[in-house]
């Protein structure tokens, strides 16, 4: 298990992505799964950066674990900002035309569709969002 | 992300290289904002784009809406990961992917 605690800012998405990718490369993770995980980090860490401590800045912890049989990567995002369950949000209507479309909710929806599991827990004042990707 | 523009009359091609995400999407938004005047055919070339997140989808949607009013827009050379994102989000129906 490896862990990184860093200020939850949009600029730090790059550092979090590099941290996770270093772990994935050691696993020979297929490129497509790596990219899906990078998108998930952009969406999830980006959400924390935008909303958890707004308008202040606070810390977030990103934990990477490797599971065996089946081989999977589990990434956990922890912050102690405002309680927010992104999974409670209704899925966007993906059948609307360009004029009617809204982008809100699309990021978390993409993560739900590309990961094998996503769970949210609020415990001891912490938002704990966990994704699992089988590789 | 690297953005390369090439214009031929009213046709503009914008080639993207790298990652179109929360940090880089504002660059593309700004380039498009300043480049679409008088353009009737816009092509976004994704040959060298690794992936995009919802921040990138937002910019593509904005460009599509602008081009719906003044011409047409194509998205070219998308990889499997990006195509899957377009399909899952319904963007495959909104965009003209060639």
- How many angstroms separate the CA atoms of A108 and B14, rounded? 28
- How many angstroms separate the CA atoms of A100 and A91, rounded? 15
Task: Tell me the two tokens of residue B14.
Answer: 């914008």
Between A46, A96, A103, which is nearest B22 by CB?
A46
B42 backbone dihedrals φ, ψ, rounded to 5°: -115, 130
B21:A10 CB<8 A: no
B61:A13 CB<8 A: no
Measuring CA to CA, which residue among B61, B73, B80 is closest to residue B97?
B73
ipTM confidence score: 0.93
Mean pLDDT over residues B47-72, rounded?
97
Q: Write down the pLDDT at residue B9.
A: 97
Q: Name which of A16, A110, A112, A114 to mutate to probe chain B: the one with the most chain B Cβ atoms within 10 A of its Cβ.
A: A110
Measuring CA to CA, which residue among A55, A81, A76, A90 is closest to residue A120?
A76
Q: How many helices (H) and strands (E) does chain B have?
A: 4, 4
In total, the C-beta contacts within 8 angstroms joining chain A to chain B are 73
Q: How far is B81 from chain A (nearest CA, A)?
A: 6
Q: How far is A107 from chain B (nearest CA, A)?
A: 5
Contacts of B19 in chain A (CB under 8 A): 38
Task: Tell me the two tokens of residue A72.
Answer: 């999977």
To the nearest whole percent, how much of chain B has pLDDT over 70?
100
What predicted TM-score, i.e. pTM, was given to this entire model?
Answer: 0.95
CATH 3.30.750.24 fits B2-94, yes or no: yes
Bond before A16 cis per omega within 30 degrees = no
Mean pLDDT over residues B3-28, rounded?
98
Q: Write down the pLDDT at residue A102.
A: 83
Cα B48 to Cα A35, A102, B8, B20, B51, distances in angstroms: 14, 27, 21, 11, 9
Contacts of B90 in chain A (CB under 8 A): 94-96, 101
- How many angstroms separate the CA atoms of B60 and B66, rounded? 10
- How many angstroms separate the CA atoms of A127 and A78, rounded? 6
Bond before A81 cis per omega within 30 degrees = no
N-term to C-term CA, chain B = 22
pLDDT of A30-74, one tens digit each?
Answer: 999 999 999 999 999 999 999 999 999 999 999 999 999 899 999
CB B88 within 8 Å of CB B57:
no
Between B21, B80, B94, which is nearest A42 by CB?
B21
Between B23, B89, B94, which is nearest A98 by CB?
B94
- Characterize the bridge pairing of strands B11-20 and B41-52: parallel
To the nearest whole percent, how much of chain A has pLDDT over 90?
92
Q: Write down the pLDDT at residue B78.
A: 98
Q: Which of residues 10-69 of B touch A (CB under 8 A)?
A: 19, 21-23, 50-55, 57-58, 61, 64-65, 68
Which residue segments constitute the domains of chain A, with CATH numbers given? 2-134 (3.30.565.10)
Domains of chain B, by residue range, sit at: 2-94
Cβ neighbours around B34 below 10 Å, total: 9
A42:B53 CB<8 A: yes
């Amino acid at each position: 298990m490896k862990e990184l605690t860093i200020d939850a800012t949009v600029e730090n998405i790059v550092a979090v992505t590099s941290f996770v990718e270093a772990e994935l490369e050691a696993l020979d993770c297929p490129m497509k799964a790596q990219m899906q995980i990078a998108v998930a980090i952009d969406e999830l860490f980006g959400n924390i950066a935008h909303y958890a401590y707004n308008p202040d800045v606070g810390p977030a912890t990103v934990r990477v674990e490797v599971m065996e049989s089946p081989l999977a990567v589990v990434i956990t995002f922890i912050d102690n900002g405002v309680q927010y369950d992104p999974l409670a949000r209704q899925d966007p209507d993906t059948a609307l035309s360009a004029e009617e479309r809204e982008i809100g909710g699309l990021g978390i929806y993409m993560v739900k569709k590309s990961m094998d599991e996503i769970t949210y827990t609020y415990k001891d004042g912490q938002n704990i969002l966990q994704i699992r990707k089988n590789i | 992300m690297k953005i390369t523009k090439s214009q031929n009359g009213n046709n503009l091609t914008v080639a993207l290289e790298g990652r179109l995400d929360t940090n880089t999407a504002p660059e593309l938004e700004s380039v498009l904002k300043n480049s679409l005047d008088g353009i009737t055919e816009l092509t976004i070339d994704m040959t060298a784009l690794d992936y995009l997140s919802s921040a990138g989808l937002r910019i593509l949607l904005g460009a599509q809406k602008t081009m719906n009013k003044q011409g047409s827009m194509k998205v070219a050379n998308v990889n499997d990961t990006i195509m899957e994102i377009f399909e899952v989000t319904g963007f495959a129906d909104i965009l003209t992917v060639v």
